[in-house]
Chains A and B, each alone.
Chain A
Amino acid sequence: MSQAAGHHAILDPTLAPPFPQAALNVLRNPQLRKNVTHAIDVIQGKRARLVAEKTDWQELRSTASAIRTHALENLGFYLEQFEARCTAAGGHVHWAADADEARRIILDLLRQENASEVIKIKTMTSAEIQLNTFLEAQGISAFETDLAEIILQLGDEEPSHIVVPALHINRSQVREIFARRMGLKNLSDDPQALTAAARRYLRQKFLTIPTAISGANFLIAETGSVAVVESEGNGRMCLTLPRTMITLAGIEKVLPRFEDLEVMLQMLARSATGERMNPYTSLWTGVTPGDGPQNFHVVLLDNGRSSILSSPKQRQTLKCIRCAACMNACPVYRQTGGHAYGSVYPGPIGAILTPQLMHMQHAQSLPYASSLCGACYEVCPVKINIPEVLLELRAQVTDQERKQAVRFFDPMYLGLRIANLLFARAWIFHAAQRLGRIGARVVTRKDGWIHSLPSVGGKWTQTRDLRGLPSQTFHEWWAARGKEAK
């Protein structure tokens, strides 16, 4: 029986419903919302304590930002350096322009191995190219080995967070999934019992499947090394037991020097899980005879990244080290969790990354899935100004709308165009205020408040009242006061 995840539309940006619609399902799910807020409160609390103990946190942020910016501005150079050093160490480097090419390269490599099964270290990039679904269709079963990913795979669920993918699922739900899928009727929801069950399930995979796929937290140009950080050690198992290792990495993951890890690992662990150091940091460089995988391949994935790189304002998106601090801090994510974003990359970083990776027409609602509160930018360890990129993307959406039929009937679009005419001349603005005051009488109740508005206004009044328009604007009061004084 295959246990690889089936294809779901909810995290496919080409199929997922727009953010406001997708969010509705979550807003009405009390269990999921409680799981999400509980999990992020725990992580946020730990992060806040560990960031506070670093007196040079802001300097570290500036350094981390500078390292990532430098790497991106010289990306071609560092990627070629990585390729040369990795190849010299016995690895094979493949370049994939898009998801399709990456999937084909990986499939060819697996076919060469005669693999019908493969084990995986948690990799968001493989989810980005929907690798499991593809392999499944080619008759190859992919088994996740990260505990959270096992929960999702066995539960036929989708990740809702990039560091803690199953954060929307609580302990008793994990128990139910394991009991059902592993045939353990009397399994308790004690964390030790659950991890023991997962360990038994995993050992069998580790010992029988000789091919592994990983992602990469960092690629190091100077040494040609790949780095993966994790908490459980299951990634370490994938790096020691199999004969063949295939690493799939976005081209932006490169760091110039080995010593850059010193900064990055400090930032990543503190920002991601609220730890001084993550439990397992694995680094491997090519092939070492008699130790670890003897066939090693790296697939470098572009899939839209080069086009992001070409825009100076949007380029900062690629600085991301996938720590998820932005989503943990985000008041929107706090309410919706990850699934509403319709992509493997949720939260504020997803709201800017997905529309750029997957083309705007598939993710037009995402740049608007933010109140622009700035909490994401404040916590970002590499100083990605997410609100600035959101605004850039919103301007692009509007510029598209200017050419589309939507401009003739969308009340929001029309309202903003009309408002612009009013704001251009004070006398028109003031005339509109007077007209509005007359019109508002129709909807203002005796208590002086508006309880219900038509059209877009109804979106406001579905949960809030609006105080009726006062009988005198400020500028009218000021003018009257001036006359009195004379």
Chain B
Amino acid sequence: MRASLFITCYNDTLYPETGRAVVALLERLGVELDFHPKQTCCGQMHANTGFRGEAFSQAKRFVQLYQDAENVVIPSSSCVAMIRDQYPGLFEQLGNETLRRQFATLVPRVFELSEFLLDKIGVEDVGAYFPHRVVYHASCHGVRALHLGDRPYRLMAKVRGLDLATLPNVERCCGFGGTFSVKNAEVSSAMLAAKLQDVVSTGAEYCTALDNSCLMHLGGAMHRQYAGMKTIHLAQILASTEGSPAEAVA
């Protein structure tokens, strides 16, 4: 099976270890990967801040770059949600018929990582080993936009050594919300404080998610507060094996 990796702008810049883990994981499972060097951003930040024209040009770019891909894998649930939920409206308003047709044929081939593993490859046990207590932050887009449901839990259940903690109020937002985190920094911080209290109460060593943007928010507060916890993208846990443990970061 072939797949094109859309790494997303902030993973490329800030969290390359997540991308490397996706590569290690999918190649281990026999997926032939390619990476389009011209990719940049899905347009979510612009769309969510009201810059519709700008978001449209990035959406158009995405469709043009990936229209021939067999599958597109994206290790960021909010970017997948952007593509599925917001591209249709943007193309309806600003696009033409050709673009809408190209998108309609492309979108069924666009997968969030856990969707790709379970729905496309059909693998639950990816052969991972991660001997730590872990808490999973479900992320708003994962829960309410992509309806990932039990997918991440099924994957984690098969990771040897992983001790999964239950997160209270798991469906509640961490307060990131993209530019919301600076436009409404104080309210965002209050939401973050409440979320962090729940996360830390689990006694886990790692907080994981399928979206590094929430983890950047949570991890930033953990570091500031010496919370004794780290964040790690689920791809890195799933890539981790006895022979090649998750890359230690910072």
A and B part of one assembly = yes
Task: Fill in one digit per residue for A340-376: 1 if any B CB lies within 8 Å of its CB, else 0.
Answer: 1000000000000000000000000001111111110
Closest A residue to B224 by beta carbon equals A465
User: Per a CB cutoff under 8 Å, which of B35, B45, B177, B185 touches A371?
Assistant: B177
Binds A, one of B52-60, B103-111, B151-159: B52-60
Query: Given contacts A23-B184, A416-B46, is CB(A464)–CB(B224) below 8 Å?
Result: yes
Contact-residue size bin, chain A (C-beta under 8 Å from the other chain)? 35 or more
Best-surrounded residue of B43, B57, B145, B185 (most CB of chain A within 10 A)? B185
Binds A, one of B125-133, B167-175, B199-207: B167-175
Indicate if B20 sits at the interface (CB-CB under 8 A).
yes
Indicate if B11 sits at the interface (CB-CB under 8 A).
yes
Residues of chain A within 8 A of B140, CB atoms compared: 371-375
Closest B residue to A394 by beta carbon equals B50
Those of A55-93 within 8 Å (CB) of chain B:
none
Q: Give the docked Cα–Cα distance between A23 and B16 (Å).
A: 36
Indicate if B166 sits at the interface (CB-CB under 8 A).
no
A371 touches B186 (CB 8 A): no
B144 touches A479 (CB 8 A): no
A412 touches B189 (CB 8 A): no
Least CB distance from B157 to A in Å reads 25
Indicate if A424 sits at the interface (CB-CB under 8 A).
yes
Indicate if B102 sits at the interface (CB-CB under 8 A).
no
Least CB distance from A449 to B in Å reads 6
Q: Give the docked Cα–Cα distance between A451 and B223 (Å).
A: 10
Residues of chain A within 8 A of B19, CB atoms compared: 474, 477-478
Least CB distance from A401 to B in Å reads 8
Q: Give the docked Cα–Cα distance between A420 and B9 (Å).
A: 12
Least CB distance from B56 to A in Å reads 10
Those of A455-472 within 8 Å (CB) of chain B:
456-457, 459-460, 462-467, 469-470, 472
User: Per a CB cutoff under 8 Å, which of A375, A420, A467, A477 touches B223?
Assistant: A467
Indicate if B181 sits at the interface (CB-CB under 8 A).
yes
Task: Fill in one digit per residue for A203-233: 1 if any B CB lies within 8 Å of its CB, else 0.
Answer: 0000000000000000000000000000000
B51 touches A369 (CB 8 A): no
Task: Fill in one digit per residue for A272-293: 1 if any B CB lies within 8 Å of its CB, else 0.
Answer: 0000000000000000000000
Task: Fill in one digit per residue for A231-251: 1 if any B CB lies within 8 Å of its CB, else 0.
Answer: 000000000000000000000
Residues of chain B within 8 A of A436, CB atoms compared: 13
Those of A412-461 within 8 Å (CB) of chain B:
412, 416-417, 419-420, 422-426, 429, 433, 436, 447-449, 451, 456-457, 459-460
A-B contact count (CB 8 A): 202
A378 touches B16 (CB 8 A): no
Residues of chain B within 8 A of A466, CB atoms compared: 216, 220
B250 touches A449 (CB 8 A): yes
Query: Given contacts A373-B173, A395-B50, is CB(A423)–CB(B20) below 8 Å?
Result: no
Least CB distance from B11 to A in Å reads 6
Residues of chain A within 8 A of B191, CB atoms compared: 331-332, 334-335, 371
Indicate if B241 sits at the interface (CB-CB under 8 A).
no
Residues of chain B within 8 A of A173, CB atoms compared: none
Those of B52-70 within 8 Å (CB) of chain A:
52, 54, 57-58, 61
A23 touches B47 (CB 8 A): no
Indicate if A406 sits at the interface (CB-CB under 8 A).
no
Q: Give the docked Cα–Cα distance between A309 and B237 (Å).
A: 49
A374 touches B144 (CB 8 A): yes
Closest B residue to A482 by beta carbon equals B35
Query: Given contacts A331-B173, A449-B223, A475-B7, is CB(A20)–CB(B217) below 8 Å?
Result: no
Indicate if A2 sits at the interface (CB-CB under 8 A).
no
Indicate if A320 sits at the interface (CB-CB under 8 A).
no
Least CB distance from A415 to B in Å reads 9
Q: Give the docked Cα–Cα distance between A436 and B12 (Å).
A: 13
Q: Give the docked Cα–Cα distance between A464 and B215 (Å).
A: 12
Q: Give the docked Cα–Cα distance between A395 and B46 (Å).
A: 10
B37 touches A426 (CB 8 A): yes
Task: Fill in one digit per residue for B24-61: 1 if any A CB lies within 8 Å of its CB, else 0.
Answer: 00000000000101111101011111111010011001
Residues of chain B within 8 A of A473, CB atoms compared: 12-13, 16
Closest A residue to B172 by beta carbon equals A331
A423 touches B184 (CB 8 A): no
Residues of chain B within 8 A of A27, CB atoms compared: 186-187, 190
B187 touches A373 (CB 8 A): no
Query: Given contacts A420-B51, A456-B182, is CB(A478)–CB(B194) below 8 Å?
Result: no
Indicate if A391 sits at the interface (CB-CB under 8 A).
yes
Q: Give the docked Cα–Cα distance between A422 and B61 (Å).
A: 13
A464-B224, A465-B220 known; 6 new pairs, CB 8 Å cut-off, are: A27-B187, A375-B144, A394-B48, A426-B37, A457-B182, A478-B37
CB<8 Å pairs between A and B, sample of 17: A27-B187, A340-B187, A368-B183, A368-B184, A372-B178, A399-B52, A420-B54, A423-B41, A423-B54, A426-B37, A448-B250, A449-B223, A449-B250, A467-B14, A473-B13, A478-B19, A478-B35
Seen from chain A, the residues whose Cβ lies within 8 Å of a Cβ on chain B are 19-20, 23-24, 27, 331-332, 334-336, 340, 367-375, 377-378, 388, 391, 393-399, 412, 416-417, 419-420, 422-426, 429, 433, 436, 447-449, 451, 456-457, 459-460, 462-467, 469-470, 472-479
Seen from chain B, the residues whose Cβ lies within 8 Å of a Cβ on chain A are 7, 9, 11-17, 19-20, 23, 35, 37-41, 43, 45-52, 54, 57-58, 61, 86, 89, 140-141, 144-145, 171-173, 175-192, 194, 216-217, 219-221, 223-224, 249-250
